[in-house]
Amino acid sequence: MTLARIVEAFLFGGRWLIVPVYVAMLGLLAILVTYFIGELVHAIPDLPRYSENDLIILTLSLIDLSLAANLVVLVTLSGYENFVRRINLVDHDTWPKGLVAVDFSALKLKTLASVTVIAAVHLLRSFLEIRTENDRDLLWQVVIVVTFGGLSLLLAATDRLSAAKNHNSP
């Protein structure tokens, strides 16, 4: 075996160093689920006193948490599959489409889109609580949502151009 092959095998094997990150992300998912359940349990006794606005804010908060949890699952599974090892389970056909078989380009788009939606939900919640928000914070939230939305569109456009260019290349 040549020195180049040994170095390449060592470098390629180094991808396993990221596995603890994916395992830790499962811990993060457990924290998000625990927090979600805690928020729901905490809100249940007060539900009869909730106004419509309070109920919408609670709903948006729980949606925010579920979107963050979905993002953790997506990044964990597709990242592992893209960068460490292909996941081969018996019932792979029953998995939701787009969960594992996501290439890096699609993962970037889905991640940025998820972050944009999370920011938009947070902005909507802020508008519903407008009495407690200051104008400066609201302005920055709008700027952040618009920036993430613009970046999502720009990334999607560049990926589409890149894919078309690669498709047309001999």
Residues of the chain short of pLDDT 70, as ranges, are: 89-93, 97-101, 166-170
Give CA separation, 131 vs 45, 120, 126, 135, 152, in Å: 25, 18, 9, 10, 31
What's residue 128's pLDDT?
82
What's residue 168's pLDDT?
65
Give CA separation, 169 vs 104, 156, 159, in Å: 21, 20, 15
pTM score: 0.76
What's residue 162's pLDDT?
79
What's residue 169's pLDDT?
60
